[in-house]
Structure formats: structure tokens, C-alpha cells
Chains A and B, each alone.
Chain A
Amino acid sequence: METRGTRIGLGVATVAVIAFLWLPLLLIMAYAFNSSTIQSWPISGFTLHWFREAWHDPEVRRSVELSLKVGLAATAIALVLGTAAAAAIYRFRFFGREAVSFLLLLPIALPGIITGMALNSFFNFGGVQLSMWTIVAGHATFCVVIVYNNVLARLRRSSPSLIEASMDLGADGWQTFRWVIWPALSTALVAGGLLAFALSFDEVIVTTFTAGAQTTLPIVNAIVFVVILATVIPVTIAQRLTGDTGVLRRGAAASKAAAAATGGGAV
């Protein structure tokens, strides 16, 4: 049993960490409505001007469109490869299984800049023209992990006897997939997809805007506001999906922790 002191201590530490993570974001979100071009607190007046400006800025529009395209493409790739990888790791024992599992997880541990540089030199070496598809490939490396993790966690907490029960009750392989495996995995796939998309979407923005850091135009704040919403909303939905409609009630806590861990990387 923890004492009153540790409870209070833990509470303070938790609030401090959350504040550390979220206060800067909230500050930028507030600046998005600042009527002054100078970022200073308190904000001098309320305006939606920067949103209008951002909406009409062709460069920003192109960035957002590209982000969407890349995010969707990377998510699609991640869903297919991540699910296949999770199924293989879960179902089969093969040579190099642990190594494959480790390699799949590595991209989220590596700083984005390392992955970026490595891929860049690889593309150069291979003579591949940099394009939207090379960005998609780069993003897919870490999006696959998200889907893989979600699906594997779901598979691990589904009872293997469910498949046997289905076969026992007269369902062949396809029917078992349709009526038992798919319903069990669907929320994990949607959650994994949303998280992967969120991760990909804000990765582009971070990359783009860290490159042009010297021009801190206030429209950046407006864009950041939109981007934060675009990442927080899917992550929240993903967390709810894995938490509430999970296969087993007692697995919900574990899945929430997993969603929080992966979500933490995305925001």
C-alpha cells in the first residue's frame, strides 16, 4: 500500500509531466488567435486572421495536401504490412523470429533524423529520385510498427481457442476469418491506422517547419493548431477503440497503456 505522501508526490509529478508536455502546445494554440504579430503573453487581441491567411497560402495548402496524401498512403502500407507481420510473429515459430520482431520495432526508437538520413543516402545510392513516394516509404517504416504493435497485442490477448471453437462449430477457414478473427482485429486495425496516420501527418509538418525555422510567421501557430487537432483527435479515438470494445475486458488496461505509449510518440 502506498502512503498518503507517495500518493501526493505521484500526483504532483504526474501533473508536472502533463503540464510540461501540454503547456507549450496550449500556448501555441492560444497564439494562433493572437491579433499581434509579436508572440508575447498575454495575447493582445482575438482574431481568426491567421487561419484565413494559412488557408489561402498556396504553399501551406500544398504542404497539407502532401501530408494528407503521404499519411494515407503510409497508413495503407502500414495496415497491410503491419497486420501480416503481426500474424506471422504470433502464429509461427521460425528462424530469425526475434530478430524480425526487433527490426520492426526499431524505427520508433530511432530519432527521425537518423531514419531520414539513412533513407536519404540509401535513395541516393540506389539512384532513386526523391518524390512523394520516397517520403511515403520513410513514413511507412514507423507506421508499420504502430499497426504491428496494436494487432499483435490484440492477437496475444485473444484466446487461441476462439479459432478452434469456430472450426468446431462448423466454420471453415474463411468463415472463421470473417466471423471471428476479423471482428476481433477490426478495432485494433482502425486504432492502429488512426495512430499511424497521426504520426505520419505531424511528422511531415515537423520536418517542413523545422527546415524553415527562421520565418516564425504567426500563421505557423494557426497551422500548428490544426495539426494538433488532427493528431489528438485520431489518437483519442484510437485509445477509445482499443480500450472499450476490446476482445476481453481485462485486456483493456494493457491496451490503453499501449495506446498511450504509442500515442505519446505521436503528439
Chain B
Amino acid sequence: MAVEERIEQSPERAAEPSGTPDVRLERVTKRFDDVVAVDDLSLEIERGSFFALLGPSGCGKTTTLRMIGGFEEPSAGVIYLGDHEVSGTPPYKRDVNTVFQSYALFPHLSIFENVAFGLRRKGTRGGNLKGKVEEMLDLVQLSGYGRRKPRQLSGGQQQRVALARALVNSPRVLLLDEPLGALDLKLRKEMQLFIKRLQHDVGITFIHVTHDQEEAMTMADRIAVMNRGKIEQLGGPDDLYERPQTAFVAGFLGISNLLTGEVSGRDTVRLGDGTTIRVRADALDGRSGRVAVGIRPEKIRPDDQDPNALQGVVRERAYIGVSTQYIVETRYGNVTVVVLNDRPGSIPHSPGDHLTLSWDPEATFILDPMEEPA
């Protein structure tokens, strides 16, 4: 489908020099009474990217989104859409559209009229309107549903109407406020891929708010992990997972094993009992003193094939289907190991078994030692 052609760029947007970020937040703070929801946050979102704001509830991600949409005004700082400062501009004058958490479809209007709502406000009429709405319904695979009312549609269909209603206006930025929260797991997975494909097809910048790390990693090109109103780390899904910079990020995106020790060389860390393990030199980055060495569970092998090795005893085992998870007790505490079940036959290790664990130094990351993963 040549969808790109359908989405017309506004002349003002086309005139901007390429490389202008679609959204820019400069030292934005939002206070509600004495609670600081967003704390001195700066952020640039590249045109045409799929960006996720990820974090636990109360981390400020939704407030950030609502400030971009114009539903909240920053207490301090400036927000730009393209090269326009939008502080004080009401939502109906901003070139952004939102897919709300509850979809917020207009219950008294048909699906067609819901999608047509934004176009009608801009004065689009007649065949032009009809054509655009029907194209958009087609794009979200709901052609033929135009005459129905929102309550006659399933949750997944309502979700797609909400997407169509926002995208038909070809906004500069589409904001998605936890749009998949109300769907069941299977449908949520389908919608994740659907929305990602849609974003790729229309080429509009999407900003997606979620507390689900898997969802963010599945959908987004870039993710800002937020905690207590600040961005903990910003990067691609693989950056965040393989090279988390804070214990919060390491803990929020999956499980990680942390071993505390003293830096003893360019790429070595000595653990409490004198065992020296090798780590990635660029991860250590000239640090000295105490550090925490992090290893993801699936990077650890239940054998001695890799340079770093630890002895332990299997304490617990959980069969997950695609993989088996072991909790192994070592001298440095419990270590979680995930082994892919890629061979036919029985699961090789049982509770009580003695095991050698090993991992590649390249698979490690380094954190400050005092923090505990959230």
C-alpha cells in the first residue's frame, strides 16, 4: 500500500529544515501542588520515529505526554513542536492527535462520524471527507463498519477506530496514552505489531506511553525510561537491555544478576572472596572502587565454556515452555539463569544439582554498587 502518499504534509511542516526534531522539551517541570510529576526534563524526538516513554505508574510519563498534547501546561520549561513553541496553545490548535487510554470514542456518533470529527472541524466536506474517512477505515481494517456505533464494536475494533480518528488528521505527532491496557494479552500482542506496522506505513512520529517494558521494546525505535519525573536512560531497546546505565533500568527491563566487587584492572573486577572476573573494558570505562557487575540470566550458561565461571547449587526450577529458569545459590547470592529448551528430551538440571555457571565478559554491564534494582 502506498500509504505515504495519503498522508499530506502541511506546507509549514514541509518547509522545516530536515533534522528538526518533531518534538522538543527543554527543561520542562510540572508540579501538581507540592508534587513534582516531571522534573527538569529535556528531550528531543526525531521526526518519523516511534518513541516510547516507559516507566512505572507515577513516573511522569503520562504527564509528559499530556503536556505535549496541551492538556497540561508545564510549570516551567518550553515545549516545541517542530520549530514552534507551543506553551499556552490549547489542544485544538496543536498539530498533534491523541489515542486515549479509554479510547474516548463519541458514543452518540457512528464510526464514520467519529473518524470524520477532526476533518469536519477543519471544514472538510462532501466527497473529500468521505474519501479520507473511508481510506482511513480501510487502513485500520474496518471498512464497512462506518454506520455502526462504538458500543457495537469489540475492544480491539474500538482501539483501531481511535487510531483512525487520530491519524486521519495527519498530525505531526500521534500520542498514544497506554492504548493497549484494556485489551487481553493475545489481542495486545496483535495490536502491538499492527500499530508498529501502521507507524511504519504512515511515517508519522508516534509517542507511546506504557508501563510494559516488553510492549515498549516490541514497538519503539527509541525508549526513554522514566523514574520519578526524570529520564533514567534513553536509547534503543537493545541499548537499554544490554547496557543499562542504572540499577533502575536494569531492574525495570527484565531480570538481572548483580555481583558486587572492586575494580582490579582495565577489564577485571575482584569479588569479595578474591575471585577475579573479566568484564567489558568499555563498560568499566576507567571506573575504580566498588562496582556492581550485571549479567542477564540468558547470558549465563550452565557449563564452563565461557571465561567467567562460578560454582553453585540449583535451588529452584521453573519450566516456562520456551525456556527453563533456574535459581542457583552461589557464594555471592542467588543467581537467576535462563536456559533455552532448544533440545528435545528432559530438562537437564534438577534442584540440588551442583552446577558450574559461566558467561562471556562481553555480556556484562556495570552499575554503581549501592543501588538495588527496583
Bound together, the chains give a CA A172 to CA B165 distance in angstroms of 17
B102 touches A168 (CB 8 A): no
CB distance from A110 to the nearest CB of B (A): 36
Bound together, the chains give a CA A172 to CA B93 distance in angstroms of 9
A168 touches B107 (CB 8 A): no
Bound together, the chains give a CA A172 to CA B92 distance in angstroms of 6
A85 within 8 A of B: no
A159 touches B122 (CB 8 A): no
A170 touches B121 (CB 8 A): yes
Tell me whether A159 and B102 are in contact in the complex, defined as CB-CB below 8 angstroms, given that A184-B108, A248-B107, A249-B151 are known contacts.
yes
Tell me whether A159 and B104 are in contact in the complex, defined as CB-CB below 8 angstroms, given that A170-B122, A179-B117 are known contacts.
yes
Tell me whether A247 and B108 are in contact in the complex, defined as CB-CB below 8 angstroms, given that A165-B98, A169-B97, A170-B118 are known contacts.
yes
B92 touches A161 (CB 8 A): no
B121 touches A165 (CB 8 A): no
B71 touches A164 (CB 8 A): yes
Nearest-neighbor residue (CB-CB) of A163 within chain B: B104
Bound together, the chains give a CA A165 to CA B92 distance in angstroms of 9
- How extensive is the interface on chain B, given as a class? 20 to 34
Bound together, the chains give a CA A165 to CA B121 distance in angstroms of 13
Main SS at interface, chain A: helix
B71 touches A180 (CB 8 A): no
List chain A residues, Cβ under 8 A from B70. 167
Of A164, A245, A247, which contacts B91 at CB under 8 A? A164
CB distance from A135 to the nearest CB of B (A): 37
A171 within 8 A of B: yes
List chain B residues, Cβ under 8 A from A172. 90, 92
List chain B residues, Cβ under 8 A from A159. 102, 104
Nearest-neighbor residue (CB-CB) of B71 within chain A: A164
List chain A residues, Cβ under 8 A from B100. 161, 164-165
List chain A residues, Cβ under 8 A from B97. 168-169
A248 touches B151 (CB 8 A): yes
The contact string, 1 if C-beta is below 8 Å from chain B, for chain A 171-191, is: 110010001100110000000
CB distance from B244 to the nearest CB of A (A): 34
A162 touches B106 (CB 8 A): yes
Bound together, the chains give a CA A155 to CA B277 distance in angstroms of 64
List chain A residues, Cβ under 8 A from B122. 170
CB distance from A116 to the nearest CB of B (A): 40
Of B92, B104, B108, which contacts A171 at CB under 8 A? B92
CB distance from A82 to the nearest CB of B (A): 21
List chain B residues, Cβ under 8 A from A247. 107-108
Tell me whether A169 and B117 are in contact in the complex, defined as CB-CB below 8 angstroms, given that A164-B71, A247-B107, A249-B151 are known contacts.
yes
B165 touches A169 (CB 8 A): yes
CB distance from B164 to the nearest CB of A (A): 12
List chain B residues, Cβ under 8 A from A249. 151
The contact string, 1 if C-beta is below 8 Å from chain A, for chain B 56-89, is: 0000000000000111000000000000000000
The contact string, 1 if C-beta is below 8 Å from chain A, for chain B 99-128, is: 011101111110000000110011000000
> Given A165-B105, A170-B118, A175-B121, list of 18 further CB < 8 A pairs?
A161-B100, A161-B102, A161-B104, A162-B104, A162-B106, A164-B71, A164-B104, A165-B100, A165-B104, A165-B106, A167-B70, A168-B69, A168-B166, A169-B118, A170-B121, A172-B92, A247-B107, A247-B108
List 10 interface pairs A-B (beta carbons < 8 Å), by A numbering.
A159-B104, A161-B101, A161-B102, A162-B104, A164-B100, A165-B105, A166-B106, A167-B70, A169-B97, A180-B106
Closest 9 CB pairs of A and B: A169-B118, A165-B104, A170-B121, A161-B104, A167-B91, A183-B108, A168-B98, A161-B100, A167-B92
Interface residues of A (CB under 8 A from B): 159, 161-162, 164-172, 175, 179-180, 183-184, 245, 247-249
